[in-house]
Structure 1
């Protein structure tokens, strides 16, 4: 698998970038169009790079200052059916599926820390579904709420902000998680109060035994373990650019159900439900952030070494 680099560089920097691309062992299809870039003026350079070496090339381009004086666009071709592409993949250390491009990781984290309208709407809907799941004791609705929950992005962005040393990203993602959770809980609490007035929700309905959803507000050591596993899965998915709906569901199992139960506890003024939900939420988020930081640190330090030895460790033929 190759990554396609499209570089726009000033004319006085073009020779250095060309030399870098031509001297790289895992680069092919290097093309140059002098003066092709009009805004800002400069040269257009393109190259195909073994995905495993994309991170290294990005570091070298950063050293040349291309990210400041020009432009860098990376895309993944849908197919590279030529012999040299296979040869580059064999020569490059590791496997393309294990390649990490940290600029892409940072971009994904930054996108996850943006408080969009759609994010807030999805979270409110997810928490409302979780509240209904509590009232009806429906495990199916809990799963539905987790599917809708969008908090995968900002929670993993917290870990990325810590590991990448981006205090601004850490602050924005933490603020988004806290404020969006508060907003969603308050919104669903209002809806639950309407349900109380209409006779659809009452104290006994919320506090009765719930064999299918009682875990939501009964934190224990397993709550922390689940949070750790969810955080590890989320961080690894972001690092390897494999973020998927299923990973997002796994993240939501640790947050959305507790938020829904918290809203109901507030609506019927039941302290045990409120406290239990907050404890569950706190344990899970702490586990997720801790695991996310540890996994991203592993990927940032030991991952290149492990990926380069994939064939020896796992017996994978690339």
Structure 2
């Protein structure tokens, strides 16, 4: 269930209340006349079955409430109510399969921004990957994959392409284009310091190692990236968010960036180039598969894009 709160100008409140009272996927409608101060108006609240949310948002946006008032949604973890149970049973479809498109746009828009926190996580992930490569530790590489925050902007690019939100595509692409080179420069600097301190040398990359899959480019690189991108987007558009952890562990983006940084500093240029190729294949594969998943779910679209500018948060 989702908790819906609407701030409505008085002239639209009757239509809002009527829509919520009549919809079978809605329970616990609350009307607070004149309760809103800024923007001024009435407050209407309700609990909504997830599979009914997209349709209701479409109706509310058609009244212009996203411009003259406000529409907010929150996840409800527990609802002990026969009325809520009836609403979920009456709403068409299954809650786990329902896509709330405005929620998806808001979420990917939030995760697409380049900021200090995003940069810090990516730099730390690349440094962890570098340590994993030098010590030949697959476990450390897995840790780097989990820490890496890159799936958010990649998902945002896919959403922007499918929904034709070019502002979202530009912002997410800029985040990736700036953050990865910076993280790799930081990793290269750390590698140079470690090498100068005598912690390791070029022999650390020579021979066969358990982490050689990082630069070993082949058809499986693309296959894994496509599967991970599809799983990640399915997770973001449904109620199965726990699957994202598996996506992070599957893709070889951060490890490839870390390996390329080390190889360049230690003069292993062929491995540096192969690692960069691995990085590009994974980035493109994830975006492509995520976009395909969204296109396949086109039949569930009920809301038109409001075209609202992305928050700078």
Q: Kindly indicate whether the alpha-carbon contact (under 8 Å) linking 2:114 and 2:174 is maintained by their aligned counterparts in 1.
A: no
Deviation at 1:53, TM superposition (A): 0.6
Residue in 2 aligned with 1:275? 273
Residue in 1 aligned with 2:61? 62
3-state secondary structure, aligned to 2:205: helix
State how far apart, in whole Å, the 2-side matches of 1:207 and 1:286 are: 29
Residue in 2 aligned with 1:85? 84
Q: Kindly indicate whether the alpha-carbon contact (under 8 Å) linking 2:26 and 2:84 is maintained by their aligned counterparts in 1.
A: no
Deviation at 1:243, TM superposition (A): 3.4
The 1:42/1:302 distance shift into structure 2, 3 A limit, reads: closer
Q: TM-score by structure 2 length? A: 0.91
Q: Kindly indicate whether the alpha-carbon contact (under 8 Å) linking 1:105 and 1:241 is maintained by their aligned counterparts in 2.
A: no
After TM superposition, the structure 1 = structure 2 runs for residues 204-283 of structure 1, keeping only pairs within 5 Å, are: 204-210=203-209, 212-244=210-242, 246-247=245-246, 249-250=248-249, 253-283=251-281
State how far apart, in whole Å, the 2-side matches of 1:254 and 1:104 are: 28
State how far apart, in whole Å, the 2-side matches of 1:201 and 1:277 are: 20
Residue in 2 aligned with 1:287? 285
Q: Which stretch shifts more, 135-144 or 193-202? A: 193-202
State how far apart, in whole Å, the 2-side matches of 1:177 and 1:202 are: 30
How many residues are paired up? 301
Q: Kindly indicate whether the alpha-carbon contact (under 8 Å) linking 1:237 and 1:247 is maintained by their aligned counterparts in 2.
A: no
Q: Kindly indicate whether the alpha-carbon contact (under 8 Å) linking 1:30 and 1:46 is maintained by their aligned counterparts in 2.
A: yes
Deviation at 1:139, TM superposition (A): 1.0
3-state secondary structure, aligned to 1:35: strand
3-state secondary structure, aligned to 1:32: strand
Deviation at 1:76, TM superposition (A): 2.5
RMSD in angstroms over aligned alpha carbons?
1.7
Residue in 1 aligned with 2:109? 110
Q: For each residue in 1:19-44, what CA deviation from the matched residue of structure 2 results, as whole angstroms up to 9, or x when unmatched?
A: 22223222232222221112221111
Question: Structure 1: any 5+ residue segments left out of the alignment?
Answer: 305-318
User: Following superposition, which runs of at least 4 residues in structure 1 exceed 4 angstroms of deviation?
Assistant: none
State how far apart, in whole Å, the 1-side matches of 2:107 and 2:34 are: 32
Residue in 2 aligned with 1:127? 126
Q: For each residue in 1:18-75, what CA deviation from the matched residue of structure 2 results, as whole angstroms up to 9, or x when unmatched?
A: 2222232222322222211122211111122222111110111111111111011112
Q: Kindly indicate whether the alpha-carbon contact (under 8 Å) linking 2:108 and 2:155 is maintained by their aligned counterparts in 1.
A: yes
Q: Kindly indicate whether the alpha-carbon contact (under 8 Å) linking 1:188 and 1:263 is maintained by their aligned counterparts in 2.
A: yes
Q: Kindly indicate whether the alpha-carbon contact (under 8 Å) linking 2:99 and 2:300 is maintained by their aligned counterparts in 1.
A: no
State how far apart, in whole Å, the 2-side matches of 1:46 and 1:177 are: 38
State how far apart, in whole Å, the 1-side matches of 2:124 and 2:249 are: 17
Q: Kindly indicate whether the alpha-carbon contact (under 8 Å) linking 1:113 and 1:154 is maintained by their aligned counterparts in 2.
A: yes
Deviation at 1:250, TM superposition (A): 3.0
State how far apart, in whole Å, the 2-side matches of 1:302 and 1:11 are: 32
Residue in 2 aligned with 1:181? 180
Residue in 2 aligned with 1:8? 7
State how far apart, in whole Å, the 1-side matches of 2:128 and 2:162 are: 34
3-state secondary structure, aligned to 2:172: helix
Deviation at 1:217, TM superposition (A): 0.5
Q: Kindly indicate whether the alpha-carbon contact (under 8 Å) linking 1:217 and 1:276 is maintained by their aligned counterparts in 2.
A: yes
State how far apart, in whole Å, the 2-side matches of 1:90 and 1:140 are: 44
Question: Structure 2: any 5+ residue segments left out of the alignment?
Answer: 303-313
